[in-house]
């Protein structure tokens, strides 16, 4: 059995974050552990960017400082998530071995001096990465402070170098076997692109005009696979040394370069870094989406590896979190399945590129509001941990998402570059969030039988297996709602006959898809009862299908905007948010899915996890929420009957208690 997050949490919620003590004199370390203990920090991630410190010259090792830190953490009861430092090679590597440096699309080298300047395809890089990983595993595998391994950091590089081209050819040979098969899949008959020799194939470098979409699509798959090979190589090394300890690498939310479904299968713990903008009115919804996706990838508890206690420093304007928001968003992550709430980083840096990025201890130090709030949250997480950790609550709704469909659909040469796959995911997930419906994510080929409702915001390319899966799901009684541009292409990005797979057209009751009518920014189409945005379609329906809403006026007057055929629904436009919310809420109700609580005020989120009910007020005004029955709030200890008042950014973690007991407490 693979070790899971429980091997590291041991019933606690992991609380802490990236700790970069090499930036500080050793006296500060003592101060750090004092403040960590006071804040309930029980986990730190060490060594993420320590390669130059650990290996100052090729093959040399300097472990003394890390030995002292590992011991210090252990002496203070703080577990260590130990990172392999391979996201940022030391300067000597690029200097001595230019083949370790990645090359951009237009052939320029990415130099050291920043980070993530490694070529995933470089044998030299991979050799050095394996060697330092071996030595870390050998030295610290038996250290009592070690709880988990963190491989690299936010794998996200692309590489168009000669080394990458060589590996790309190997990857393509394994995929296609023959050049004929590759030429066929890439449609190279178009524009005289036929390949006569494997050596002619390069990465899709800068070209005069639109590139071959098949080549670009395979290059995205290849990039995800190469990074995954780097991860797996390091994972296997640490796994050999410590088979009982879990291994992770931290994802960026909805990062385009990684097929995270595939990656998650290779991880013991799925972890993510999440930084919603405190000023974004949809920050809570966007956070919930990432949390739902990460939980679904983990199929259980997951780790919030990084968040910011205050501002980040990489947006144009970087806002701090108002009082209470860090607590609220942390509890939201726990509600949606996190068993670890961690930050980048422990102590705010005074030098380097991220000195204006917040830390758990800000420049203001112990007295600063940031640390004081971090400390309060640490105590609260410890209080709720016994009732929370290890609990996994599946939902009745799944949102489908597939990286390959995203990659295929996001290419140049389309009808509208305004159609953005993540934006569509957000629009659909937001509609469900606003309808107080909680949801999982799933891949189109996953077993969907446990869900009452499956929604497909957009799946431009679908394999035959995925299409059959969707058909079987509806045949067995599931309700399916799909957005436009679904099932347009196969996995090679070859447009299906009729512009959309015939089986899906039949399922949704589309007789003919005549033309797509994309909409400009600010343009909308009137439909019965709502306005459509972004896209519209000229479709004829089959006799049996029902047009639940039609276009009104304009070229498409009278044609179906929302089409229903049995339990299959098709939206040929994107309804405005309130209409989208009402539409999905209605379909969910018909499919037998109820909101977590009825009559929730706007901006209040209710989520069940195990026995607990989390109620979160994302608004700036106090609200009173009806929560039928007797409950105890595990955060305050208060007993409640039938309703609950939450202040601005207020949160409650409720456990049902027999009414009599609740009333007895409330009576005075």
Q: Min. distance of Cβ 136 from ligand GLA in angstroms?
A: 18
Residue with Cβ nearer ligand GLA (344 or 649): 344
Residue with Cβ nearer ligand GLA (212 or 358): 358
* Strand order across the beta sheet in which 524-527 lies: 524-527, 530-533, 574-575
Q: Min. distance of Cβ 619 from ligand GLA in angstroms?
A: 26
Q: Which residue is nearest to ligand GLA (CB)?
A: 273
Tell me whether residue 643 is one of the annotated catalytic residues: no
Which positions from 33 through 92 interact with ligand GLA, judged by CB under 6 A? Answer: none
Residue 273 interacts with ligand GLA (CB under 6 A)? Answer: yes
Report helix, strand or coil for 555: coil
Residue with Cβ nearer ligand GLA (370 or 573): 370
Which positions from 124 through 153 interact with ligand GLA, judged by CB under 6 A? Answer: 153
Q: Min. distance of Cβ 273 from ligand GLA in angstroms?
A: 4
Query: Which among 197, 191, 223 has a CA at the least distance from the CA of 210?
Result: 191
Which positions from 316 through 345 interact with ligand GLA, judged by CB under 6 A? Answer: 344
Within 10 Å of residue 527's Cβ, how many Cβ atoms? 26
How far, in Å, CA of 359 to CA of 480, rounded?
Answer: 44
Residue 158 interacts with ligand GLA (CB under 6 A)? Answer: no
Contacts (Cβ under 8 Å, ≥6 apart) of 14: 8, 42, 43, 79, 303, 339, 340, 341, 342
Q: Min. distance of Cβ 74 from ligand GLA in angstroms?
A: 24
Q: Report how far apart, in Å, the C-alpha atoms of 498 and of each of 2, 267, 505, 572 are.
A: 46, 40, 9, 16
Token digits for 462? Answer: 């679908």
Active site residue: 55, 110, 154, 537, which one? Answer: 154
Q: Min. distance of Cβ 16 from ligand GLA in angstroms?
A: 15
Long-range Cβ contacts of 38-41 (<8 Å, 24+ apart): 38/375, 39/15, 39/360, 39/371, 39/374, 39/375, 39/378, 40/15, 40/375, 40/378, 40/379, 40/381, 40/382, 41/15, 41/16, 41/17, 41/78, 41/346, 41/360, 41/378
How far, in Å, CA of 393 to CA of 324, rounded?
Answer: 26
Residue with Cβ nearer ligand GLA (321 or 541): 321
Tell me whether residue 200 is one of the annotated catalytic residues: no
Q: Report how far apart, in Å, the C-alpha atoms of 353 and of each of 50, 313, 475, 568 are.
A: 15, 9, 55, 51
Residue with Cβ nearer ligand GLA (154 or 501): 154
Where are any strands of DSSP class E within 252-331?
Answer: 271-273, 302-306
One character per residue 342-371, x = contact with ligand GLA (rule: CB under 6 A): --x---------x--x--------------
Query: Which among 192, 197, 239 has a CA at the least distance from the CA of 212?
Result: 192
Report yes or no: 122 and 221 within 8 Å, Cβ to Cβ.
Answer: no
Residue with Cβ nearer ligand GLA (125 or 344): 344
Which positions from 573 through 592 interact with ligand GLA, judged by CB under 6 A? Answer: none
Residue with Cβ nearer ligand GLA (304 or 651): 304
Distance of CA 121 to the CA centre of its chain: 25
DSSP 146-157: EEEEE-SSS---
Residue 439 interacts with ligand GLA (CB under 6 A)? Answer: no
Which positions from 414 through 433 interact with ligand GLA, judged by CB under 6 A? Answer: none
Q: Min. distance of Cβ 578 from ligand GLA in angstroms?
A: 33
Residue with Cβ nearer ligand GLA (167 or 321): 321
Q: Min. distance of Cβ 35 from ligand GLA in angstroms?
A: 20
Q: Min. distance of Cβ 308 from ligand GLA in angstroms?
A: 6
Q: Min. distance of Cβ 349 from ligand GLA in angstroms?
A: 10
How far, in Å, CA of 464 to CA of 468, rounded?
Answer: 6
Q: 32, 55, 154, 259: which one contacts ligand GLA (CB under 6 A)?
A: 154
Token digits for 606? Answer: 């209710």
How far, in Å, CA of 406 to CA of 260, rounded?
Answer: 12
Q: Report how far apart, in Å, the C-alpha atoms of 459 and of each of 222, 254, 413 are.
A: 20, 15, 18
Residue with Cβ nearer ligand GLA (222 or 343): 343
Q: 110, 159, 306, 501: which one contacts ligand GLA (CB under 6 A)?
A: 306
Q: Token match 């370390």: residue?
A: 29
How far, in Å, CA of 553 to CA of 567, rounded?
Answer: 28
Q: 14, 238, 312, 474: which one contacts ligand GLA (CB under 6 A)?
A: 312
Question: How many residues line the site for ligand GLA (CB under 6 A)?
Answer: 9
Active site residue: 55, 234, 267, 306, which one? Answer: 306
> Where along the sequence are the contacts to ligand GLA (CB under 6 A)?
153-154, 273, 275, 306, 312, 344, 354, 357
Active-site residue set: 154, 306
């Amino acid at each position: 059995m693979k070790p899971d997050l429980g091997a590291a949490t041991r019933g606690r919620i992991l609380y802490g974050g990236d700790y970069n003590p090499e930036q500080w004199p050793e006296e500060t370390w003592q101060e750090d552990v004092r403040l960590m203990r006071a804040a309930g920090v029980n986990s730190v991630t060490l060594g993420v960017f320590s390669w130059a410190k650990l290996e100052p010259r090729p093959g040399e090792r300097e472990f003394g400082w890390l030995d002292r830190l590992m011991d210090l953490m252990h002496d203070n009861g703080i577990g260590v998530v130990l990172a392999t430092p391979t996201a940022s090679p030391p300067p000597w590597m690029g200097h001595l071995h230019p083949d370790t440096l990645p090359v951009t699309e237009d052939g320029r080298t990415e130099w050291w001096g920043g980070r993530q300047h490694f070529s995933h395809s470089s044998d030299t890089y991979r050799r050095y990465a394996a060697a330092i990983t071996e030595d870390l595993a050998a030295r610290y595998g038996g250290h009592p402070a070690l709880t988990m391994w963190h491989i690299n950091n936010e794998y996200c590089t692309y590489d168009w170098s000669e080394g990458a081209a060589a590996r790309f050819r190997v990857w393509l040979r394994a995929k296609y076997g023959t050049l004929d098969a590759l030429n066929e899949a890439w449609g190279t008959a178009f524009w005289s692109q036929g390949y006569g020799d494997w050596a002619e194939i390069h990465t899709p470098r800068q070209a005069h005009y639109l590139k071959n979409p098949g080549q670009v699509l395979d290059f995205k798959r290849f990039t995800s696979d190469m990074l995954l090979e780097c991860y797996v190589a390091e994972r296997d090394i640490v796994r050999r040394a410590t088979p009982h300890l879990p291994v992770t690498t931290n994802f960026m939310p909805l990062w385009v370069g990684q097929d995270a479904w595939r990656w998650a299968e290779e991880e013991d713990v799925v972890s993510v870094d999440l930084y919603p903008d405190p000023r974004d009115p949809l920050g809570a919804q966007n956070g919930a989406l990432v949390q739902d996706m990460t939980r679904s990838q983990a199929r259980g508890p997951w780790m919030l590896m990084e968040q910011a206690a205050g501002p980040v420093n990489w947006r144009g304007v970087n806002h701090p979190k108002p009082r209470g928001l860090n607590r609220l968003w942390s509890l939201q992550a726990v509600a949606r399945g996190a068993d670890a709430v961690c930050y980048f980083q422990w102590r705010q840096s005074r030098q380097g590129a991220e000195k204006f990025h917040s830390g758990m201890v800000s420049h203001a130090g112990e007295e600063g509001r940031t640390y004081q709030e971090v400390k309060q949250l640490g105590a609260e997480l410890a209080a709720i941990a016994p009732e929370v950790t290890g609990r996994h609550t599946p939902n009745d709704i799944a949102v489908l998402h597939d990286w390959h469909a995203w990659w295929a659909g996001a290419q140049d040469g389309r009808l509208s570059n305004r159609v953005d796959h993540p934006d569509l995911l957000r629009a659909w997930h937001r509609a469900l969030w606003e309808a107080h419906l909680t949801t999982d994510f799933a891949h189109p080929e996953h077993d969907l039988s446990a869900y009452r409702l499956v929604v497909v915001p957009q799946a431009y390319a679908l394999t035959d297996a995925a299409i059959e899966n969707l058909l079987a799901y509806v045949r067995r009684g599931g309700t399916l709602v799909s957005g436009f541009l679904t099932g347009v292409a196969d996995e090679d990005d070859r447009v299906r006959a009729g512009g959309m797979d015939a089986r899906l057209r039949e399922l949704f009751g589309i007789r003919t898809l005549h033309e797509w009518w994309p909409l400009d920014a600010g343009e909308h189409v009137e439909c019965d009862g709502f306005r459509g945005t972004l896209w519209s379609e000229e479709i004829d329906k089959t006799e049996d299908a029902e047009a639940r809403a039609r276009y009104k006026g304009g070229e498409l007057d009278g044609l179906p905007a929302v089409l229903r055929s049995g339990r299959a629904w098709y939206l040929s436009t994107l309804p405005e948010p309130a209409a989208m919310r009402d539409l999905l809420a209605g379909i969910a109700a018909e499919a037998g899915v109820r909101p977590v609580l009825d009559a929730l005020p706007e901006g209040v989120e209710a989520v069940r996890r195990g026995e607990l009910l989390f109620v979160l007020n994302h608004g700036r005004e106090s609200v009173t929420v009806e929560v039928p029955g007797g409950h105890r709030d595990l955060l305050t200890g208060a007993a409640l009957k039938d309703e609950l008042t939450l202040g601005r950014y207020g949160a409650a973690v409720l456990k049902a208690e027999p009414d009599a007991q609740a009333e007895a407490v409330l009576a005075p």
